[in-house]
A and B are shown apart, each in its own frame.
Chain A
């Protein structure tokens, strides 16, 4: 591969890696801080993407939008809409066992997907939205534009990183981790468990929306057929678990490492005859799944373990623990 190709690859690697890093940071807020399993990442990603696209794209026939608003506004709106969607979902489910929130997040992702395809007046359906602007488009185009975008993406990642770290170290963050590690005790000390969990979810979803928006601005075109949503959600999870949940450094590391592995293997297998390339993509997916299982069992703390030891309250009796788990399962004794 020549130098040009290499730099091209590097640019797209950094952009995609950055977007995934942002997704991982977002997911870390939900899982690492709050212990919530969001299986509908792709849905919030899509909401953010479409929100920003609709607001910032040039006017077009056939669908609402084309307000041609500035990109920062698009990003902000993406965060707000995605956050609001997350709020709606979590509001219903946060009192219940975390499984239900997970199922609901799959559901909402599905509904969003259907809405995007069907509400053509808003999203132009399968045809997609075109002419989504790049930052500083009027002045910089071509390859340089891509490099500008790398800077934009990683600035957002940096800002989010800073924000998430501030959250982690704040009383809010400590309260959240106390809940994650021992809910009963935290509740006894007066922490409003459900409110904190709700806030966690919303913040995470908002960041996912921003990631989606960035993706839209990068590709300049958005359609529902973009990529297998489940695969995106899945990859982000592998990245987070492998990198180190509860831990922002780990989130970003995991994103880059796993994305590196994924895209590198993609390049390698793309050199095979086309028939084999298709098959190998399934094999890659299988292996990534295996990686997730492996890390889940052995290295739950991830490549970069959590910085501070989690707050430990006196653990509950073993027998009671099962009962605790059961009632925590249903968040009330013996009923979901």
Chain B
């Protein structure tokens, strides 16, 4: 689990980002560079601004200061819908599937913004990663269990063949069985060349698969490092990982 340093520079480069909802900053002065092919996990206590950070990448907050670069491109505040064609796919925390559309339709929708994508191949890839979905493909997504919905949500994002996948607490509210699967899945996804940035509450397990972990506290960057190194770090363990449970 070594972070690869890429000569061509980070895929996602966040510079001095301050953002919030309205005039108040929820996150301030965030610097974060995510390398290509990296799994970056963002953890921190409740209210630390983790979700806000992700939402800011999606232009769903008020950007007060700073810049977000994707490759060479400045994507600070770019309209949300334009992100998918650029190669950025996101899975919000809740309400992340179209409940009245079937599973197959949900996945299909994921391809609409990317004209050149090979839809049948994407379907195959997603069904391979999530075999359960293939059986349920005609079912309305609203009728699925939480874990299955999560798969649909992640599947929909993958259908766009993204280079960057943003996940907001993908394991929230899932049973332990699904939890394991999701984390394994993320590693598999990374193997296909996708860079993953993930906000997580289940810090312990998430950091285990992280190339780099970033800890946010009170809207500011606190510490970053290799996932396992953070797990071993006493201070981090005590403050954020608690006694065996994620804080």
Chain A residues at the B interface, C-beta cutoff of 8 Å: 314-321, 323
Contacts and interface: CB of A to CB of B under 8 A. Distances in A.
Interface string B8-35: 0000000000000110100000000000
Interface in B50-103: 52, 55, 58, 60-62, 92, 95
A167 to B, nearest CB: 29
A316 B26 CA distance: 12
Given A315-B21, A315-B22, 15 more contacts: A314-B21, A314-B22, A314-B24, A316-B21, A317-B55, A317-B61, A318-B55, A318-B61, A318-B62, A319-B55, A319-B60, A319-B61, A319-B92, A320-B21, A321-B21
Contacts of A315: 21-22
21 contacts: A314-B21, A314-B24, A315-B21, A315-B22, A316-B21, A317-B21, A317-B52, A317-B55, A317-B60, A317-B61, A318-B21, A318-B55, A318-B60, A318-B61, A318-B62, A319-B55, A319-B58, A319-B61, A319-B92, A320-B21, A321-B21
Interface of B: 21-22, 24, 52, 55, 58, 60-62, 92, 95
Nearest to B99: A334
Contacts, number: 24
A82 B95 CA distance: 44
The prevalent SS among residues of A at the interface is helix
Which one of A314, A316, A318 has the greatest number of beta carbons of chain B within 10 Å?
Answer: A318
Nearest to B95: A323
Which one of B24, B52, B60 has the greatest number of beta carbons of chain A within 10 Å?
Answer: B60
Contacts of A316: 21
B59 to A, nearest CB: 9
A316 B21 CA distance: 6
A318 B63 CA distance: 11
Contacts of B60: 317-319
Contacts of B22: 314-315
Contacts of B55: 317-319
A318 B26 CA distance: 13
A198 to B, nearest CB: 30
Contacts of B61: 317-319
A12 B182 CA distance: 76
Nearest to B23: A315
